[in-house]
Structure 1
Amino acid sequence: MANNASSQPPLTGQDPLAAMAHSEAHYFNSYNHHGIHEEMLKDEVRTRSYRDAIYQNRHLFKDKIVLDVGCGTGILSMFAVRAGAKHVVGVDMSTIIDKAKEIVEVNGMTSQITLIQGKMEEVKLPFDKVDIIVSEWMGYFLLYESMLDTVLYARDRYLNKDGLIFPDTATIHMAGIEDGDYKEEKIGCELWDNVWGFDYSPLKHTALSEPLVDTVDMKAVVTDPATVIKFDLYTVTADDLAFSMPFQLQARRNDFVHALIAWFDIEFAACHKPIKFSTGPHTKYTHWKQTVFYIPTVLTVTDGEYISGVLETKPNTKNRRDLDIKVTYKLETDDITRNAEGQAEYKMC
C-alpha cells in the first residue's frame, strides 16, 4: 500500500482523538486516488493469485453470499460473481467506491453486487450473515496500514460458522542482507554532519529509525530466511497483531550484515489446490516489495554462523494503522572480536 499526500490540513494540538481521526482520514483519503489502484491492479502476482483462488474454486463460490472488505475498484467482487456467487457486498470507506459502481455497471453486474461506502464497523449490510469473506487487506510489512483488524471484525460479526476467508493465512519472514553502500548513502556520518555547511546529525537517528520499503536484490541476501510469525485468519485476534517473536538467521557465506529485511507470504488454504504467493526478494516483483531495517551495528559473519534476535511489533497508540517496531539482535561466535549485539527501534508511519 502506498503513501499519497493527504489533502487534510496539518493537525495542531495534542488531542489523541483528533489525532486518530486525522490519521484515519489520511489513510482513507490516500485510497481516493487513481494511481494506487492502478498500481495494485497491475500487480500481476497479487491480482492473478486472487483471480485463480476464486476462479479455480467455483464449487466454493457457487450460490454463496460474499463480503468484499475494502473492495476498492471492485475487482475481487467481480471475480466472485464470475465464479458463481449469488450476491456480493463490497464495503469501502474511500470515494473510489463511486468509480467502482461505474465499473460494476459497465460490466453488467449491478444486480449482483451491492457497494456500500463507509467503515466496516459502522455500515449495515443487506445480509445478516455471509458465506465467504474476500479481502486484499495486506500492507507493507504485512501489517502497516493494513485492514486486518477490520477483516477480523467482519469475520466475527458476519461470517457464518462454517464460512471461508480468502486468503486465510499470512506469514512474516526475515533475513539479513549486505547493503553497505546504500546504508552509507542513507545514514552515513558524512551525509548528515555537513549539510550545506550545517550540522544535521540529529536527523541521522531519524533516518535509521525509518524502515525502507524497496526491492532487494537476491544477491544481497546473506542469510537463510527465517519464519517469524504466522497468522491464521480463522483464529487470530486483534490483540495478536501486537507480538514479540524470536528469530534465528544462519549465514550462508562470509560477508557483512548491514540490515535485516522482512517480507510476507499469503496463502489461500481453503482452495481445492492451495494457492500461495510471496513478496520476498526471491520471487517476482509485487508492489509490497520488501521492508528494510538498517541496524546500527555492522555484523561480520562467516558461513554457518547464527544471528539470533527478537522482533517486536505493535500498532501505534495514536494511529492503529501505523507501527512501532523493535528489533533486538546478537551474533555470538568463537571469534570474540566479532561478537556483537544491539537493538533498534523503528516507526512505520
Structure 2
Amino acid sequence: MEEENSDEQFLEKFSKMSFSYNAFRDFINHQEVIIQDDVVMTAFCDAIRHAHIFEGATVLEVDCGSALFSMLVAKQGAARVFAVDSGNAAQVARQLVRENGLDSVIEVIQGDIRTLKLPPVDVIVSKWMGACLLYSSALDRVIYARDKWLKPNGCIFPDTARLYLSVAEDRNTEQPRHFWSRFYGFNMSHAAGIVQQLPKVGCVLARQILAKPQEIWKMDLRTIKSDQLSFKVPFQLLVQRQEIIDLFVVHFDFSFSGGTDEKVVSTSPWAPSTHWQQTLFHIDQHLPICRGEKFSGNFAVSRGANYLDFDIEWGFRNKLVKIKEHKQIFRLGGGCKDKR
C-alpha cells in the first residue's frame, strides 16, 4: 500500500511539471553522468566565471542539456542566450531556467539546430568533446552554428584541443584474443576478431604508461573545417622502460581562450579522471620492448556520422621480435569495420 501511494505521489508531482516523465528519464540518462563529472563541470564553471567575453553578449549554447552553462553565462551579464538541444532534455532545461528566474534572458529551444532561425551571436558555448575527442555529433553542430551565426570576431568556448598518443602495459588484463578463443569449451575466435577491433573507453594508471605521450593532432574550432576532422599522422614514441606493450593509449586536452588566463582541461592518466577517461587500443602482437627503443608508425582517423574508424600502422624489430608493416583497424561506435 505504501509503495502504491509513493507511485501515486510521484506521478502527481510530474503532472504538475511542464515536461513529461519521458523527458525527465531522458534528461537523467544523458545528463547525470555529465553533471556528476566534477572535474569537467568545475572547469567549465570556473572558465565562464573568469571570462570577459559574456558581458552584454548574445550567446548560443549548442546541445545545452541542463542549460547550466546558459544560466552561468546569463549570470555573467549576457544580454541574450539561446539554449538549443534537439532532445527531450530541453523540456527539463526550460523549467530549470524558469525556476532560476532567468527566462527573461534565456530562451530554451528544442529542435534541430540546422532548422532554426537565429540572429548573429557573439559567443558559442558547448561541451562538444566526446570519447577520443572526436566521437561527438555536437562537434558538427557547433561547426554548423559557427558558419551560420557566429560574428566575424566572435568566440567559441572552448575553442582549441589536442590529441595525444602513447603506449602502455596491461599485464593484469587478459588479451581479448586469449579470452575469447576458447570460452567454456566453445570456439569463439570469430568473436575475438570482432572484439579486437573495438577500442575501449577506460582508465589506465600513470604507472602503466611506457612512453611520453606525443601530441599527434590539434584543432582550432574557430577555423577548422569538417573535412579536416579526418586525418593521418606519423608517430614515434621513445620507450622509457623494458616491458611488453599491450595498448595504444589516446587522451586529449582542451582549452578556453576567452578568459584572462587560458584554462586547460586534460584527460591524461596523470590528471583527475573524467567521464571521457582514455581510449585504449589493444595491440594484437606479442611486443617486448626495451628502454630507449623507438616505436613508430602512422595513426589515422576517419570520422563518420556515428563512428570513428582508426587505422594504426606500425612496425618494430629488436633482438626479441621482428614485426614488419603491421596494420590494425578499429571502429568506435556503429558496426565493426570490415577488414581490408
Asked if structure 2 preserves the Cα contact closer than 8 Å seen for 1:279 and 1:286, the reply is yes
SS of equivalent residue, structure 2 residue 66? coil
Contact 1:307 1:332 in 2 (8 A): no
TM-score normalised to structure 1 length:
0.85
Q: Which residue of 1 aligns with 2:90?
A: 97
Match of 2:277 among 282, 289, 294: 289
Give 2:32's aligned residue: 38
Q: Which secondary structure does the structure 1 equivalent of 2:185 belong to?
A: coil
Q: Distance in 2 between matches of 1:46 and 1:250?
A: 31
Kept in 1, the 8 Å contact 2:177–2:189? The answer is: no
Equivalent residue letter for 2:284: P
1:176-325 matches, within 5 Å, as 176-184=167-175, 186-188=176-178, 191-316=179-304, 320-325=305-310
Paired AA for residue 292 in structure 1:
L
Match of 1:53 in 2: 47
Higher deviation after alignment, 291-300 or 153-162: 291-300
Distance 1:339 1:194, change over 3 A: closer
Q: How does 1:327-338 map to 2 (within 5 A)?
A: 327-333=312-318, 335=319, 337-338=320-321
Q: CA deviation at 1:36?
A: 3.0
Partners of 1:120 and 1:174 lie apart in 2 by 33
**Could you tell me whether the CA contact under 8 Å between 1:214 and 1:291 is conserved in 2?**
yes
Q: TM-score, normalised by structure 2?
A: 0.87
Residue deviations 1:228-251 (CA, integer Å, cap 9, x gap): 100011111000011111111111
The answer to whether 1:134 aligns with 2:125 is: yes
After TM superposition, the runs of 4+ consecutive aligned structure 1 residues lying more than 3 A away are: none
1:122 is the counterpart of 2:115: yes
1:61-90 CA-partner distances (Å, limit 9, x unpaired):
100000001101101101101111111101
Unaligned 5+ runs, structure 2: 1-22, 334-340
8 Å Cα contact 2:27/2:92 also seen in 1: no
Work out the CA distance in 2 between the residues paired with 1:183 and 1:164: 46
Which structure would you say has the larger Rg? 2
User: Aligned partners of 1:194, 1:267: CA distance in 2, in Å?
Assistant: 46
- In the TM superposition, what whole-angstrom CA distance separates every residue of 1:136-164 from its partner, at most 9, and x where no partner exists? 01110111134212111111110000001
Which whole-Å CA distance do the structure 2 matches of 1:110 and 1:229 have between them? 40
Tell me the distance in 2 between the aligned counterparts of 1:307 and 1:146. 33
DSSP-derived class of the 2:34 partner: helix
2:58 and 2:78 in contact (8 A); partners too: yes
Partner-residue secondary structure (3-state), 2:287 = strand
For the 8 Å contact 2:27–2:65, the answer to whether it is kept is: no
CA deviations over 1:214-273 (Å, ceiling 9, x no partner): 111111111110011000111110000111111111111111111101011011123221
What code does the residue aligned with 1:250 have?
L
In the TM superposition, what whole-angstrom CA distance separates every residue of 1:302-347 from its partner, at most 9, and x where no partner exists?
112111121111123xxx12111111122244x3x43434211001
The DSSP-based 3-state class of the residue aligned with 1:77 is helix
Question: Quick one: distance in 2 between partners of 1:105 and 1:310?
Answer: 51
Contact 1:130 1:160 in 2 (8 A): yes
How many residues get paired? Answer: 309
Asked if 1:109 corresponds to 2:102, the answer is yes
Deviation at 1:194, TM superposition (A): 2.7
Query: Deviation at 1:33?
Result: 4.2
Corresponding residue SS for 1:222: coil
1:130 aligned partner, one-letter code: V
Quickly say closer, same or farther: Cα 1:145–1:187, change in 2 above 3 A.
Answer: farther
Task: Report which stretch shifted further, 35-44 or 64-73.
Answer: 35-44
Give the distance between the partners of 1:83 and 1:187, measured in 2 at CA. 53
- Structure 2 distance, partners of 1:193, 1:47, is 42
What code does the residue aligned with 1:329 have?
W
Give 1:145's aligned residue: 136
Which shows bigger deviation, 191-200 or 166-175?
A: 191-200
Give the letter for the 1:47 counterpart: M
